[in-house]
């Protein structure tokens, strides 16, 4: 212990403090307090434990480091810069400026070495759980005696705010249950939140709570590097449980007038206080962004760890060629089949099947061919049909299974799915009822922002769920999800479309996809005539056409059937109506104008849409002269056929709307 290089340590920690102060001051906004308070802990971690290669930020077997308290972004940027990532000092000097790689909160798609996008509190911790879960699962599948090819830790820095958030609590409880021993959380126990002392609102016994979850807990002086090192060693040695280390720190460490107070939290210290702080730390007041000689050397990592692993990997490729090829394909997202037509199940026309049921069939069929597919449900397995045929549950003592019981923890699930996707090697999916997508929105949004390819299986997608009533019946959720940039929402009309929807979801590498599925049965559409289900991949297609249509009937999901029925009703009255199935607004928006006009010819203004949800937004497709059939209020508890009828979401109403448009 006496050999700890304290001098170098303090130089590095103070460098980080200086960079953080100066960057925030220059930007005139930001959070200096956390980087200054956690600099010691971070330097201990990054110089003694963190296994990474700044020259190859995507090395698969690197340790994952998550700054859950993303507002302390200058800590992460300083660490990345000093240890040799492609993040020059000039980037730190453009902190929070247009076009820089140092945004206010860390963004994983923007900055090399940033593992996940954080800022919204609690999310990073849930991501870290997902990464640790991914590591554990891949290790179990691919490691062989003497070949720990998947073997890394996941470290997270979490703040009081992180630990207050429900998403972190849910994910932490599951991490304890699953005994994710290679997850180590460094808790910045600084007793301060934006509003002031944690005495204002947060007086629980955090370590006792984590103990109740089944975690290993320690308390340490966060400004004592030797003690921090020992604590991390103990956490790693624990071996059976995830670990949390409460690091007692002073926010804004070193600032004579603001240290230990909320004033150091979320605003620049001020020019004068920066000067006083530097003096107090024995730091040159000039130049700003000062990095003393030796600090980069002390912090930097060469490629040695990766090179050693590469040797191991080479031997593994020889010994276990097939496994190595599979793992490599998974890590590179190259494990999708070429013969989709053979993989996707065929469904018999006319047979009645809920899309959640056909989804279950499709999912199991795909999973047999796509080894990276791993997911579960928020305690609604039987309802979501998310289980994989012939695959076991993952259990604390046995990760050879392929199904995750997330518990009634939708938000935690969504945050964990993000972490699994970010880890690599896994195509994660998770199921719940569509109405509970609301519980998951903050994580869904981050998946969309990061471009994380998570798949959501949202069943029970409308009043069609019937008796459970308004608390469980989505009304606004389809539109609210469609409003999220870079989220692809697909609501298939029946079994055939459901199969294609799964394919589209798996082929979407750039962001999350939500599959929106029914509880109630729907007839499988006969594809002998009319549009092929493959049209789902274009987002919308002409399902049943007529010569010179007078009216266009547009439906999504279960209501496509009503549009088909309405077409017949109109035909009986001599009206020619085209039926368009529009399962995905986002995919359709991505088509050429030519295709879009082919499906929805601009000159046909008589358009009726039908969807068992809010009509808000449908103006986009029906235009000024169209009519939207839907639901602009909450649902009701009754058998679903009754609800549809009583609320007027019927083929008759649609046909009548079509007629009324022609009468105008």
- Part in contact with a second copy (CB under 8 A); list of ranges 274-282, 445-453, 530-538, 576-584: 445-453
**Please, which residue, 427 or 445, has the CB nearer to a second copy?**
445
Query: Is position 637 an interface residue for a second copy (rule: CB under 8 A)?
Result: yes
Residue among 176, 27, 16, 192 at smallest CA distance from 104: 27
410 is catalytic: yes
Numbers of helices and strands, H then E, in the chain: 26, 20
Other Cβ atoms closer than 10 A to 504: 23
Site stretch for a second copy (CB under 8 A), options 81-89, 113-121, 294-302, 491-499: 113-121
Please say which residue, 27 or 627, places its beta carbon nearer to a second copy: 27
Q: Would the CA dihedral through 1, 148, 50, 156 be positive or negative?
A: negative
Binders of a second copy in range 169-208 (CB under 8 A): 169-170, 173-174, 176-177, 193-195, 200-206, 208
Is the Cβ of residue 171 or residue 504 nearer to a second copy in the bound state? Answer: 171
- The residue within the footprint of a second copy, chosen from 279, 392, 620, 660 (CB under 8 A), is 620
| Distance (Å, whole) CA 560 – CA 570 | 15
Residue 525 Ramachandran class (φ > 0 left, ψ -120 to 50 alpha, else beta): beta
485 counts as binding a second copy under rule CB under 8 A: yes
Kindly state the tokens that stand for 650.
């019927």
The span of 10-18, 228-236, 462-470, 569-577 binding a second copy (CB under 8 A) equals 462-470
Task: Supply the minimum distance, in Å, between the C-beta of residue 260 and a second copy.
Answer: 18
Q: How many CA atoms lie within 13 A of 343 on its CB side?
A: 19
Q: Which of residues 263-292 bind a second copy (CB under 8 A)?
A: none
- Residues numbered 209-228 forming contacts with a second copy, rule: CB under 8 A: 209, 211-214
Give Cα 588 distance to the centre of its chain.
Answer: 23
User: In the numeric block, which tokens belong to residue 56?
Assistant: 């190859």
Residue 620, preceding peptide bond in cis (omega within 30° of 0)? no
Identify the residue among 107, 273, 335, 559 touching a second copy (CB under 8 A). Answer: 107
Site string for a second copy, 520-559 (x = CB under 8 A): ----------------------------------------
- Give yes or no for residue 293 binding a second copy (CB under 8 A): no
Of 190, 243, 614, 650, which one interacts with a second copy (CB under 8 A)?
A: 614
Q: Find, among 173, 168, 180, 184, the residue nearest to 138 by Cα.
A: 180
Binding segment for a second copy (CB under 8 A), chosen from 3-11, 307-315, 332-340, 402-410, is 402-410
User: Which listed range, 55-63, 138-146, 223-231, 631-639, lies at the site for a second copy (CB under 8 A)?
Assistant: 631-639
Q: Kindly tell me which residue out of 32, 466, 531, 557 binds a second copy, with binding defined by CB under 8 A.
A: 466
> Of 436, 456, 502, 588, which one interacts with a second copy (CB under 8 A)?
436
Contact 101, 87 (CB under 8 A): yes
Q: What is the closest distance, in whole angstroms, from the C-beta atom of residue 124 to a second copy in the complex?
A: 11
Site for a second copy in 125-164 (CB under 8 A): 160-162, 164
For position 483 contacting a second copy by CB under 8 A, the verdict is yes
Q: CB of 336: closest distance to a second copy in angstroms?
A: 27
Out of 115, 410, 586, 611, the active site residue is: 410
- Residue 294 found at the interface with a second copy (CB under 8 A): no
Q: Which is nearer to a second copy, 238 or 438 (CB)?
A: 438
Report the distance separating Cα 312 and Cα 300, nearest Å.
Answer: 23
In the chain the first and final C-alpha atoms are separated, in Å, by 87
C-alpha pair distances (Å), 605 with each of 557, 575, 608, 649: 23, 15, 9, 21
The reply to whether 98 sits near a second copy by the rule CB under 8 A is yes
d(CA 660, CA 421): 49
Return the structure tokens found at 661: 């448009």
Q: Which of positions 358-397 make contact with a second copy (CB under 8 A)?
A: 377, 379-383, 393, 396
Neighbours of 418 (CB within 10 A): 28
Minimum separation from the CB atom of position 104 to a second copy (A): 4
> Per CB under 8 A, does 90 bind a second copy?
no
Choose one: 129-137, 292-300, 302-310, 437-445; the region binding a second copy (CB under 8 A): 437-445
How far is residue 497's CA from residue 515's CA, in Å, rounded to a whole number?
Answer: 11
Among 142, 283, 316, 406, binds a second copy (CB under 8 A): 406
Cα separation of 117 and 220, whole Å? 28
Q: Does 252 bind a second copy (CB under 8 A)?
A: no
Place of tokens 């796509």: 370
Select from 200, 143, 440 the least CA-distant residue to 320: 143
Largest Cα–Cα distance of the chain, in whole Å? 93
- Cβ 631 vs Cβ 612: under 8 Å: yes
Shortest distance in whole angstroms from residue 481 CB to a second copy = 8
Q: Of 510, 616, 652, 662, which lies in the binding site for a second copy, with binding defined by CB under 8 A?
A: 616
Beta carbon nearer to a second copy, 52 or 71: 71
Out of 639, 652, 660, 662, name the contact with a second copy by CB under 8 A.
639
In the complex with a second copy, the residue whose CB is nearer, 118 or 581, is 118
CB distance 137 to 175 below 8 Å: no
Instruction: Answer yes or no whether residue 124 interacts with a second copy by CB under 8 A.
Output: no
Q: DSSP 3-state assignment of 2?
A: coil
Omega prior to 287 cis, within 30 of 0: yes
Number of residues engaging a second copy in binding (CB under 8 A): 106
Task: Give just the sign of the alpha carbon dihedral 217, 72, 46, 125.
Answer: positive
* Whole-Å CA distances, 260 to 33, 256, 265, 269: 9, 9, 9, 13
Q: Which residues are catalytic?
A: 410
């Amino acid at each position: 212990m006496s050999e700890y290089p304290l001098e170098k340590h303090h130089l590095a920690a103070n460098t980080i403090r200086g960079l953080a102060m100066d960057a925030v001051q220059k930007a005139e906004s930001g959070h200096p307090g956390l980087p200054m308070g956690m600099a010691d802990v971070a330097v201990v971690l990054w110089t003694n434990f963190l296994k990474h290669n700044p020259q190859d930020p995507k090395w698969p077997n690197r340790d994952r480091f998550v700054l859950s308290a993303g507002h302390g972004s200058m800590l992460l940027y300083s660490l990345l810069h000093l240890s040799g990532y492609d993040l020059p000092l000039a980037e730190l000097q453009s902190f929070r400026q247009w076009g820089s790689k140092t945004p206010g909160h860390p963004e994983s798609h923007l900055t090399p070495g940033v593992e996940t996008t954080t800022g919204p509190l609690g999310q990073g911790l849930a991501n870290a759980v997902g990464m640790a879960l991914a590591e554990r699962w891949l290790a179990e599948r691919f490691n062989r005696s003497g070949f720990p090819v998947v073997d890394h830790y996941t470290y997270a820095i979490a703040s009081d705010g992180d630990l207050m958030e429900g998403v972190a609590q849910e994910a932490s409880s599951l991490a304890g249950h699953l005994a994710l021993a290679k997850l180590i959380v460094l808790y910045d126990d600084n007793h301060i939140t934006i509003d002031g002392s944690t005495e204002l609102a947060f007086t629980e016994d955090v370590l006792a709570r984590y103990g109740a979850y089944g975690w290993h807990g320690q308390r340490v002086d966060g400004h004592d590097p030797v003690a921090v090192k020992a604590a991390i060693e103990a956490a790693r040695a624990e071996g059976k449980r995830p670990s949390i280390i409460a690091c007692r720190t002073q926010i804004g460490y070193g600032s004579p007038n603001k240290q230990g107070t909320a004033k150091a939290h979320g605003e620049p210290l001020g020019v004068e206080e920066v000067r006083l702080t530097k003096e107090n730390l024995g730091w040159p007041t000039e130049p700003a962004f000062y990095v003393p000689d030796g600090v980069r050397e002390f912090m930097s990592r060469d490629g040695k760890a990766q090179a050693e692993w590469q040797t191991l990997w080479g031997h593994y490729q020889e010994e276990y060629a097939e496994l190595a090829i599979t793992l490599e394909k998974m890590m590179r997202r190259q494990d999708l089949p070429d013969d989709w037509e053979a993989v996707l199940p065929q469904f018999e026309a006319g047979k009645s099947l809920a899309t959640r049921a056909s989804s279950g069939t499709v999912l199991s069929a795909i999973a047999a061919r796509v080894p990276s597919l791993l997911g579960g449900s928020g305690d609604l397995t039987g309802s979501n049909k998310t289980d994989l045929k012939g695959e076991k549950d993952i259990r604390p003592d046995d990760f050879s299974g392929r199904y995750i019981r997330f518990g009634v923890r939708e938000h935690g699930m969504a945050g964990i799915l993000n972490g699994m996707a970010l880890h690599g090697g896994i195509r994660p999916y998770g199921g719940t009822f569509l109405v509970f997508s609301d519980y998951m929105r903050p994580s869904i949004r981050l998946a969309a922002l990061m471009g994380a390819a998570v798949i959501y299986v949202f069943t029970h997608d409308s009043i069609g769920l019937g008796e459970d009533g308004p608390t469980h019946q989505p009304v606004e959720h389809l539109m609210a999800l469609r409003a999220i940039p870079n989220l692809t929402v697909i609501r298939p009309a029946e079994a055939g479309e459901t199969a294609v929807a799964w394919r589209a979801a798996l082929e979407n590498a750039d962001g999350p996809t939500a599959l929106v599925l029914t509880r109630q049965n729907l007839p499988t559409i006969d594809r002998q005539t009319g549009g092929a289900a493959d049209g789902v991949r274009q987002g919308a297609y002409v399902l049943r056409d007529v010569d010179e249509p007078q009216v266009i009937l547009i439906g999504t999901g279960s209501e496509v059937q009503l549009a088909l029925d309405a077409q017949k009703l109109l035909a009986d009255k001599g009206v020619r109506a085209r039926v368009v199935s529009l399962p995905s607004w986002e995919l359709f928006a991505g088509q050429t104008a030519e295709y879009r006009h082919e499906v929805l010819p601009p000159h046909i203004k008589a358009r009726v849409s039908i969807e068992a949800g809010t009509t808000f937004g449908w103006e986009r497709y029906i235009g000024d002269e169209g009519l939207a059939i839907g639901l602009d209020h909450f649902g009701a508890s009754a058998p679903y056929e009754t609800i549809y009828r009583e609320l007027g979401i019927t083929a008759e109403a649609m046909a009548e709307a079509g007629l009324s448009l022609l009468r105008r």
